[in-house]
Structure 1
Amino acid sequence: MYGITNCGSVKKARIFLEERGIDYEFIDFKKFPPTIELVKNWVEKQGIAKVVNNKGMTYKKLGLKDKNLSQEELLECCVQNPSLIKRPVVQRGDILLLGFDEEIYKENLC
Structure 2
Amino acid sequence: MTTLYGIKNCDTIKKARAWLSANNIDYIFHDYRQDGLDTKWLEQTEQTLGWELMLNKRGTTFRQLSEEQKQGVDKMSALALMLEYPAMIKRPILIHNDEYFIGFKAEQFAEVFS
- The two structures have a TM-score, normalised by structure 1, of 0.91
Higher strand share: 2
What does residue 9 of structure 1 align with? 12
Aligned-pair distance for 1:28? 1.0
2:22 to 19, 22, 39: 19
What does residue 87 of structure 2 align with? 83
1:60-99 counterparts in 2 under 5 A?
Answer: 60-63=63-66, 66-99=70-103
- Mapped to 1, the partners of 2:107 and 2:62 lie a distance apart of 27
RMSD of aligned residue pairs (Cα, Å): 1.5
Aligned-pair distance for 1:70? 2.2
Aligned-pair distance for 1:101? 1.4
- Mapped to 1, the partners of 2:71 and 2:85 lie a distance apart of 16
- Mapped to 2, the partners of 1:69 and 1:91 lie a distance apart of 26
Q: Any unmatched runs of 5+ in structure 1?
A: none
What does residue 32 of structure 1 align with? 35
- Mapped to 2, the partners of 1:66 and 1:79 lie a distance apart of 16
The AA in structure 1 aligned to 2:49 is Q
Structure 1 window deviating more from structure 2 (15-24 vs 29-38): it is 29-38
Aligned-pair distance for 1:37? 1.3
Contact residue 95 and residue 108 of structure 1 kept, 8 A: no
CA deviation vs aligned residue, 1:47-92 (integer Å, no higher than 9, x gap): 1111111111111112467331221111011011000000111111
Q: Any unmatched runs of 5+ in structure 2?
A: none
Partner SS for 2:100? strand
What does residue 111 of structure 2 align with? 107
Identity of aligned pairs, percent? 28
- Mapped to 1, the partners of 2:82 and 2:113 lie a distance apart of 26
